[in-house]
Structure 1
């Protein structure tokens, strides 16, 4: 695995944890999907870097970033969440899959645009 892909997964882990924490700060709820504002903050923190990375480096690096963000969100929830979050870890891991759909779609759309318009 190249250092660039390792950097993408590390950046994804950081972005995932950051998206979860900023969503909690913005909304006052620990889980991003408990409020519209938290969900919006989470999706912006994940989607903008995913789209920019897809534009600059293509789909593979971006898919690794999104995978890393999934890991980062779940590590953050397990590490900083209370007993309830730890008890519901498996459900949280499934529910957090929903949080990576929009960033993944943004990344794939930008990567497809990049392939069709290589001079962009």
Structure 2
């Protein structure tokens, strides 16, 4: 069941699983951890865009999309969500509990890292 914390929508494991299954075109899932964390274990199909790169990618985020951010515990993804909201991207969601609480399928290795703004724009389509 989702709830709000500091003005940011929070979701937990079961809701994230449902969102990933439905994967509507209006939602974009992004892992904001560091590359080595992502390569150790991540949710299959979710790309990596490390938190410290987010400010350089602002123009690539679309106001009509909903962004679901994932990190290790839910703290970094909460900060990313707040930052984007402060910069005009209203539809942000934090996966509270992060990968520490994820009990679904995991993949290892460098599946996909978003490396530039144009790639983020393509991912948003």
User: Please, what TM-score do these two structures have when normalized by structure 2?
Assistant: 0.31
Q: Whose radius of gyration is greater, 1 or 2?
A: 1
TM-score by length of 1: 0.32
Whichever structure has more strand as a proportion of its residues is 2
